[in-house]
Amino acid sequence: METRSLVVAHPRVRRRPIAVTAALFAVLWGAVVIGPQALAARAVPPRPAAAADQEGLRALFGSENRVIRTGERVVAVTFNAAWNDAGLTGILGDLERRHTPATFFLTGDFADRYPEVVKRIAAAGHGLGNHSYSHPFFADLSADGRRREVQAADRALRAAGAGGALTPFFRFPYSETSPAQVREVNRLGFADIEFTTDTNGWMGSEGGMTVDHAVRRALDALRPGAILQMHAGASQGRTEVIDARALPRILDAISDRGYRVIDLRALLTSPPTLVAPSVGGIVGDASRR
């Protein structure tokens, strides 16, 4: 389990599938934009959506979803971003070259500082998720404080141009969750999507991490339904983005081992069941970012 001393201020495809999924998702979910004043005044209501979309979203409520329960050899690739946009160009290029979908969980602060990056991710056909506004420890906040973090991030992502790429997915800072907090974000209209393993690339070489180690952590976690977490950007005091360098090898190994990467937004229209495994089932608990 991650300890607070480990972190400083860390904000915790194939061609056709991306285009089709993104277009469908934009129609089903992205049509209604809630203005900043409304967000500040009240809780974000569940998004109007088609029946299939609502059914898929509700199926994700009530759990910290860390793995897709499926017998198929499929995995999901996700990135968190909060510090800066270092490595993003390479990450997006590698995803495009391999026609691979990903979901990017951004903090609202990141979206405010890098609106052009938000637009680039959306234009590339990837999904955008909410990672809070300032990446605080949610346990240190009141329920109202947590609500404001989620709403402020939602507002920032919309203002930055997320558009139809914006998903009803939330990832807790530091993956620090509780049943009560999961219910809170569900009431705001978001499903909690966590991860099966983190590559720990965020640590950088200064923290003892190497590209080989990051790749190995990802491959050790491969199993049907695994959700991989990586990071874009370099944290304070670090100069390289290990995950950007590891990504090509990880994606090639996923394919070589007979897996394919799915877009998490597909869960909204034809959802497998996502479950939160027991603690022993999560790979790399010490790095829950």
The confidence score (pLDDT) of residue 234 equals: 86
Count: domains in the chain: 1
The confidence score (pLDDT) of residue 32 equals: 30
Number of CB atoms found within 10 A of residue 126's CB? 29
Domain-located, residue 39: no
Domain-located, residue 284: no
Q: What is the pLDDT along the chain (289 residues), one digit of tens a residue?
A: 333 322 323 333 333 344 444 444 443 443 333 333 333 333 333 343 444 478 899 999 999 999 997 889 999 999 999 999 999 999 999 999 999 999 999 999 999 999 999 999 999 999 999 999 999 999 999 999 999 999 999 999 999 999 999 999 999 999 999 999 999 999 999 999 999 999 999 999 888 999 999 999 999 999 999 999 999 998 877 778 999 999 999 999 999 999 999 999 988 876 555 554 433 333 333 344 5
Domain-located, residue 38: no
> What CATH number does residue 248 fall under?
3.20.20.370
Cα separation of 183 and 191, whole Å?
9
The confidence score (pLDDT) of residue 46 equals: 38
Domain-located, residue 157: yes
Cα separation of 128 and 223, whole Å?
24
Domain-located, residue 130: yes
Question: 69: part of which helix (H) or strand (E)?
Answer: strand 67-69
The confidence score (pLDDT) of residue 272 equals: 57
Backbone torsions φ then ψ of 181, nearest 5 degrees = -70, -35
Domain-located, residue 152: yes
Which domain does 84 fall in, by range? 4-29+48-279
Amino acid at 102: A
The confidence score (pLDDT) of residue 195 equals: 98
Residue 129 β-bridge partners: 105
Measure Cα distances from 121 to 16, 75, 93, 210, 280 in Å. Answer: 17, 20, 11, 26, 34
Closest CA to 74 of 263, 274, 273: 263
Tens-digit pLDDT profile for residues 47-77: 434 444 788 999 999 999 999 978 899 999 9
Domain-located, residue 287: no
Amino acid at 58: R
Measure Cα distances from 176 to 21, 138, 200 in Å. Answer: 30, 7, 16
- Mark 99-120 as b/e (b = at least 16 C-beta within 10 Å): ebbbbbbbbbbbbbbbbebbeb
**Unique residue bearing structure tokens 């999507």:** 193
Domain-located, residue 35: no
Q: Which DSSP state fits 73?
A: S
Q: What is the DSSP string of 105-126?
A: EE-HHHHHH-HHHHHHHHHTT-
Q: Which DSSP state fits 29?
A: T
